[in-house]
A and B are shown apart, each in its own frame.
Chain A
Amino acid sequence: MTTIDKTPVPVAAALPASERPPQEIKRERARAKRKALGAIPSAILIIGSLYCFIPLFWLVSASTKGRETLFTTNTFIPDGIDGFFRNVAQLGNYQDGAFWTWMGNSVIYAGGGAALSVLVSAAFGYGLAMYEFRGKQVAFGLVLTGMLLPGVVVAIPQYLLMAQLELTNTYFAILFPVMVSPFGMWLCRVFAASSVPRELLDAGRVDGASEFRIFSAIGLRLMAPGLLTVFLLQFVGIWNNFLLPFIMLSDNTKYPLSLGLYSMMRGSDTEEAIIPTLVISGSLVATIPLIIIFIWLQKYMRINFGGGLKG
């Protein structure tokens, strides 16, 4: 450990005060120390990055391995790009192209579900943040409670409800439940309150715009960066959701990627020699779209929770 000098004052006082004011000496010492300590945060970040990155590098490397080399060579050393394409081609042949169907399904569930839920949440958050009305606290309390609710409590009855409506095994079995996101609704309220000034709404009213027009023209525009965050969170949440599709879907062709890969893994007891290479390369292909979206949208991700609990 670097020693942290807590009392620099006596040292500074020992020097002739006329030549160097103690303030300046103190500042200089602090600057020097900061320089020396500056390496520590960088070292921490490098270690963290390695921990997060190495498994992904392994995934890339292992997905280039064929069924022989996967078990015989070190999986940290990639085989070559053609190995990866060979695996992807095999992946495409798995159960008549089931993998790409799953990919398409995931896009529908995550893209469609996130878009719908953002619309619902935006209107809700805006309504809650911009108006005073009877029942406001109740609505806010409901959403807060919903946020704390584990998904499992609703999963079983949701299934029974969907079964009653004969909607299990359809796209709606996933799209309906994911449309309501208490967390998204709550975040939208926070974003609306912090980014849409009420005076602007009054100005719009003076100009004679309808409340809905003010929402769509002013509210949505100002909330846009926040809505992007909600969309991203919802997209990832749905893309990664496992329990809901696991419960709702039994038809292979309706599966999203996570459930598809899981089913592939489950079947691997019988065809052990070939499947691992497919599961590994499938995992990589399934992750790439999300990583691209993330890197692209990351700069918009700003989730501030400070003081967001007040209604």
Chain B
Amino acid sequence: MSQPVLEQAGPARTRRSLAPGRAPAGPGRPKKGRHRLAPYLFIAPGITLFTLFLLIPIGYSVYLSFFSNKVSSGIIGASERASVFVGFDNFAAILEGSVFWSGLARAGYYGLLVIPITLGLALVFALALDVGVSKLRTVSKTIIFIPYAVPGVIATLMWGYMYHERTSPFGDIFTFFGFPTPDFLGDSLVFYSIVNIAVWGGIGFNMIILHTALSGIPREIYEAARIDGASELRIAIQVKLPLVVPSMIFTLLFGVIGAVQVYAEPQTMKTMSPSITSGWVPLMEIQRLAFEQGETNMAAAGAIIIALIAFGLSLLVFRLAGKKGSGD
């Protein structure tokens, strides 16, 4: 505990301590010098890990995608494996096959369904929560949030058994009303069955984000509208909605990035439904190429394509956000 005393000994220290108040206009220079290094020390661990486990792997990914492992027979007779620059060959190879394209199309359609449904429901629930405080609202907020805690693999297994004809609890209900039990895991429905799992798991997180944004809005804004006789519905649409747009942008962004790399649900569903083919979504194809086919370079090219798509869509979202932001 002698440290403070030592620091006080410096002339700059003494002067600052004696100065009345904080006096930022006074000779503030010595303060700057003292902690010039501090911010770098604080961010150093994060930046180091970021570099090691994100930047370097990304760089390596890019490198891999432009090279190929060619086996060439050396002069002495022993074959050698060497990395050869192949330009865009890997990209061409993965885009030539129909599997990657159909996977991309499927992931795109998946996103077009999952994102609006999830965000729409999350918004409706958040607005309903925001009307006022009651026991019902507290309880339902918790219940709607809980599925977010269920891992994708487990949610898929759970729903999978609920879909499965042998264990489905819905069979009796359909039979009761005289309908045939739909084959939730069959060719035509399994896609929507997975969409449902994603929506179920995603609403809660987005609802919390939007509800947090809503509860940050000062109440007086609504009071004014209420006194003018505006209905709750009108307040929700005309006052609250524009105010949560920044948060909506974020949920949209996470939704897009999540949809592009959907993986755990279909991969798990594959164990229950023969309708899920290998390479059903892009990530399944990339994983298969890298770890089952040994086509690491092609897989890297596929991963780069996915990243570029994610970036492109993110920029689009930001663009949209910028336009919205300048509007008000």
- Name A residues whose Cβ lies closer than 8 Å to a Cβ of B: 4, 8, 23, 26-27, 29-30, 33-34, 37-38, 40-42, 44-46, 48-49, 51-53, 55-56, 58-59, 62, 70-71, 74-76, 119-121, 123-124, 126-128, 130-131, 133, 136, 139, 142-143, 146, 148-161, 176-177, 179-180, 182, 185, 199, 202-203, 205-212, 215, 236, 239-240, 242-243, 246-247, 257-259, 261-262, 265-266, 268, 276, 279-280, 283, 286-287, 290-291, 293-295, 298, 301-308
* B191 sits at the interface (CB 8 A): no
Instruction: Determine if B204 and A52 form an interchain contact, defined as CB atoms under 8 angstroms apart.
Output: yes
Flag B120-136 by CB within 8 Å of A: 1 or 0 each: 01001101110110101
Quick one: closest A residue to B253, CB to CB? A148
* B72 sits at the interface (CB 8 A): no
Taking a contact as CB atoms closer than 8 A, the residue among A123, A156, A185, A287 that contacts B150 in the complex is A287
- Name the interface residues of B195-239: CB closer than 8 Å to any CB of A: 200, 203-204, 208-209, 212-213, 216, 226-234
Instruction: Determine if A38 and B131 form an interchain contact, defined as CB atoms under 8 angstroms apart.
Output: yes
Residues of A within 8 A of B287 (CB): 243, 246-247
B128 to chain A, nearest CB (A): 4
Quick one: closest B residue to A154, CB to CB? B57
Instruction: Determine if B153 and A242 form an interchain contact, defined as CB atoms under 8 angstroms apart.
Output: yes
Interface contacts (Cβ under 8 Å), in number, total 339
Instruction: Determine if A295 and B142 form an interchain contact, defined as CB atoms under 8 angstroms apart.
Output: yes
* B179 sits at the interface (CB 8 A): no
Given contacts A131-B38, A243-B283, A49 and B212 within 8 Å (CB-CB) = no
Residues of A within 8 A of B268 (CB): 242, 262, 265
Given contacts A121-B46, A298-B145, A290 and B150 within 8 Å (CB-CB) = yes
Ordered by A's residue number, 15 sampled pairs between the chains whose C-beta atoms are within 8 Å are A38-B131, A41-B128, A119-B45, A124-B45, A126-B42, A142-B55, A152-B303, A153-B303, A156-B64, A161-B57, A212-B41, A257-B151, A257-B154, A262-B267, A303-B209
- Name the interface residues of B124-165: CB closer than 8 Å to any CB of A: 124-125, 127-129, 131-132, 134, 136-137, 139-154, 157-159, 161-162
Quick one: closest B residue to A38, CB to CB? B131
Main secondary structure of the interface of A (DSSP, over half): helix
Instruction: Determine if A279 and B157 form an interchain contact, defined as CB atoms under 8 angstroms apart.
Output: yes
* B29 sits at the interface (CB 8 A): no
Q: A146-B54, A148-B257, A176-B53 are in contact. List 5 more A-B contacts (CB 8 A).
A: A75-B168, A148-B311, A152-B261, A185-B46, A280-B157
Instruction: Determine if A258 and B53 form an interchain contact, defined as CB atoms under 8 angstroms apart.
Output: no
Instruction: Determine if B46 and A160 form an interchain contact, defined as CB atoms under 8 angstroms apart.
Output: no
For the complex, what is the distance from the CA of A156 to the CA of B144, rounded to whole Å?
Answer: 35
Instruction: Determine if A306 and B153 form an interchain contact, defined as CB atoms under 8 angstroms apart.
Output: no
- Name the interface residues of B12-64: CB closer than 8 Å to any CB of A: 13, 16-17, 22, 31, 34-36, 38-43, 45-47, 49-50, 52-58, 60-61, 64
Quick one: closest A residue to B209, CB to CB? A303
Residues of B within 8 A of A243 (CB): 263-264, 283, 287
Quick one: closest B residue to A211, CB to CB? B38
For the complex, what is the distance from the CA of A156 to the CA of B161, rounded to whole Å?
Answer: 32
* B291 sits at the interface (CB 8 A): yes
For the complex, what is the distance from the CA of A239 to the CA of B299, rounded to whole Å?
Answer: 26
Residues of B within 8 A of A215 (CB): 42
Residues of A within 8 A of B172 (CB): 74
Residues of A within 8 A of B226 (CB): 27, 30, 34
For the complex, what is the distance from the CA of A158 to the CA of B271, rounded to whole Å?
Answer: 26
Instruction: Determine if A74 and B169 form an interchain contact, defined as CB atoms under 8 angstroms apart.
Output: yes
Residues of B within 8 A of A153 (CB): 57-58, 61, 303-304, 306-307
Given contacts A26-B229, A160-B60, A206-B17, A4 and B234 within 8 Å (CB-CB) = yes
For the complex, what is the distance from the CA of A127 to the CA of B45, rounded to whole Å?
Answer: 11
B164 to chain A, nearest CB (A): 9
Residues of A within 8 A of B41 (CB): 127, 211-212
A148 to chain B, nearest CB (A): 5
Residues of A within 8 A of B16 (CB): 205-206
Taking a contact as CB atoms closer than 8 A, the residue among B40, B140, B153, B253 that contacts A48 in the complex is B140
Residues of B within 8 A of A46 (CB): 136, 140
Residues of A within 8 A of B168 (CB): 75
* B94 sits at the interface (CB 8 A): no
Instruction: Determine if A265 and B140 form an interchain contact, defined as CB atoms under 8 angstroms apart.
Output: no
Given contacts A34-B232, A152-B306, A180 and B158 within 8 Å (CB-CB) = no
B136 to chain A, nearest CB (A): 6
Taking a contact as CB atoms closer than 8 A, the residue among B17, B131, B148 that contacts A236 in the complex is B148
* B69 sits at the interface (CB 8 A): no
Flag B253-281 by CB within 8 Å of A: 1 or 0 each: 10001001101100110011000000000
Instruction: Determine if B43 and A283 form an interchain contact, defined as CB atoms under 8 angstroms apart.
Output: no
Given contacts A287-B150, A287-B154, A148 and B167 within 8 Å (CB-CB) = no
Taking a contact as CB atoms closer than 8 A, the residue among A8, A121, A177, A202 that contacts B22 in the complex is A202
Instruction: Determine if B136 and A180 form an interchain contact, defined as CB atoms under 8 angstroms apart.
Output: no
Instruction: Determine if B50 and A146 form an interchain contact, defined as CB atoms under 8 angstroms apart.
Output: yes
Quick one: closest B residue to A133, CB to CB? B39
Instruction: Determine if A303 and B212 form an interchain contact, defined as CB atoms under 8 angstroms apart.
Output: yes
* B193 sits at the interface (CB 8 A): no
* B186 sits at the interface (CB 8 A): no
Instruction: Determine if B146 and A208 form an interchain contact, defined as CB atoms under 8 angstroms apart.
Output: no
A31 to chain B, nearest CB (A): 9
A99 to chain B, nearest CB (A): 13
B147 to chain A, nearest CB (A): 5
Taking a contact as CB atoms closer than 8 A, the residue among A41, A52, A148, A208 that contacts B127 in the complex is A41
Instruction: Determine if B261 and A151 form an interchain contact, defined as CB atoms under 8 angstroms apart.
Output: yes
For the complex, what is the distance from the CA of A180 to the CA of B50, rounded to whole Å?
Answer: 6
Taking a contact as CB atoms closer than 8 A, the residue among B47, B61, B64, B233 that contacts A124 in the complex is B47
